[in-house]
Amino acid sequence: MNLNFIMEEEKRLKEAVAQEYQDTSGGSEPIYDGVVNPELYVASAPRILWVLKEPYDNGESYGDSRDGGWSLTDDCMNKKTDETSRGRAFQPICYVNYGIWSGVHDWDEMPWLRNSDEIRSGLKKIAFINISKLPGLKYTPWNRIVEAYQRHRGIILDQIKTYAPNIIFACDPQANLIREDWGIPFTQWTWFGSAACVQISTEQRLVWVSHPSSRKKRADYVNDAINAATAQLEK
């Protein structure tokens, strides 16, 4: 994994997103995503990617002309890490990341996010992409994400290939859409409570989790996700 390569590829991918993610109503611009901090991502081990559904930008309806035109990963996760890490959807992500990197696989043994700069700042070390990159609403219809994936799967798969993550976390429907694109049967999922995983290669694993903003018990969500990401699987 090369820092210059990632930085150049991020420029290419941003241009591709700007060209492809067009709001047909003419109101919104894309909200960009990708590697949060390229230098930290390249140095991280394992490299972690989260694939979620769509970003939110305070709009009351799709196509709100006030929406978009900024970067979720750079403007929020990189430059406003502390504030962003405290958001409902990002807290579980921070705990899961920390557990994998630190080797602490039990949420009850972790420090509180509010008291740990290490947990919060880990947000800078990951890659993060949304299936739909146009501003969405607080509730995302399942079929909207399926349609967005089918329309933009080329860019989504390009991002995943470019970032070469070792662990890919994804909620549904995209977890199974990605799995299907890679030709892996549904029966290959190995379950760990509320999470599941499938080994893509010796260097890469796909982990199916609920959306991090779901109302699942925090300890169960974090522990199940970590176990699915790190457990030794039978061949």
Kindly give the parts of the chain with pLDDT less than 70: 26, 58-66, 137-139, 234-235
Q: Quote the CA–CA distance of 228 and 224 in Å, as a whole number.
A: 6
pLDDT in tens, 19-34: 999 887 767 889 999 9
**Tell me, what's the pLDDT at 74?**
96
Neighbours of 122 (CB within 10 A): 27
**Tell me, what's the pLDDT at 59?**
54
Strands (E), the chain: 34-35, 48-52, 127-130, 167-170, 190-192, 195-201, 204-208
Assess contact for 198 and 229: CB atoms under 8 A.
Answer: no
Dihedral of the alpha carbons of 14, 17, 18, 22, in degrees to the nearest 10 = -170
**Tell me, what's the pLDDT at 27?**
74
Q: Quote the CA–CA distance of 124 and 225 in Å, as a whole number.
A: 19
**Tell me, what's the pLDDT at 65?**
45
**Tell me, what's the pLDDT at 15?**
96
Q: Quote the CA–CA distance of 14 and 132 in Å, as a whole number.
A: 14
Task: Please give the model's pTM, rounded to 2 decimal places.
Answer: 0.94
**Tell me, what's the pLDDT at 178?**
98
**Tell me, what's the pLDDT at 66?**
55
**Tell me, what's the pLDDT at 49?**
98
- Give SS3 for 170: strand
